[in-house]
Amino acid sequence: MRLLIVGANGMLGHDVLRAGERAGHELVAVDLPEIDITDPVAVRELLERLRGEEGSLDGVLNCAAWTDVDGAESKRELAHAVNADGAGNLARAAAAIGVPLLHISTDYVFDGTPPLDADGRPRPYVESDPTGPRSVYGSTKLEGERQVLGACSEHTVVRTAWLYGVDGPNFVATMLRLAGERDAVQVVDDQVGSPTWSGHLAPAVLGLLERRVRGLVHLTGAGEVSWNGFAREIFRQAEVSCRVQAATSEQMARPAPRPAWSALESERDDVLPMPPWQDGLAGYLAARAGHSLSGDS
């Protein structure tokens, strides 16, 4: 497949390029300044040019996003331009030339109130559960989903959560850094979600494109844990000695509210589950060690 990867310089974009190369795909990688997804004319011209070149174009994968969750609260228009209208620009341009697009979304489209199973216990959100974002970031991402899915029935939206990888700042790297600076860290224990290693997510989303899975999909590391429990597992797997103290979201308040519950799971028969989040952490730590040995960032 010949695929256009938008946002290729980001954390997930890097892993998509690695996974795509392993799978034997022909990849066209773009990011700022080569493409500005908030410019509909530039987006349309780029896709039309690629579609007209020898080899055609088989799909677009949009990893580009405004990811500054707290900054979005004060920069609503900028976040909306990228996460909502930018996603829509790509989706409409791809639809116009008959090319499927896969767009990455987030758990922040939910309000954080856990849905309950038949026994009254919290269960992960599935694709058919109602949304209700509580932050500007979540609202802009939800509008992006609507624009993408409204542009073409052949497009795909993948919601993921708690994403981390070797090519960007992330929670695991922060915890390991703090463990080298202090004896204890404070981490919230009242937010639960599904940690997702970009090294697992990248081949999974490419698989969706390969198998022509369309519509709304949830893809995260399997299972759920609190940020506090995640930190403890990070230190256990990394064999680091650092105490993890409990804190509440109120104590660690941020400008944008975080969902108290954001565990995700797919209810679809055509979506292959990803490995447990603990396996993703092990994979990340191994990849991180490999990058350190090779001198990569």
10-residue stretch averages of pLDDT, the chain, 297 residues long: 97 98 97 95 95 85 97 97 98 97 98 97 98 98 98 98 97 97 97 98 98 98 98 98 97 94 98 97 96 61
Whole-angstrom CA distances from 221 to 105, 127, 276 are 15, 16, 5
Tell me the C-alpha distance between 182 and 219, whole Å.
34
Q: Quick one: pLDDT at residue 56?
A: 86
Determine the pLDDT at residue 291.
Answer: 79
Q: How far is CA 4 from CA 16, 49, 113, 207, 214, in A?
A: 11, 12, 36, 15, 17
Which pLDDT value is given to residue 294?
Answer: 61
Catalytic residues: 137
pLDDT recorded at residue 297:
44
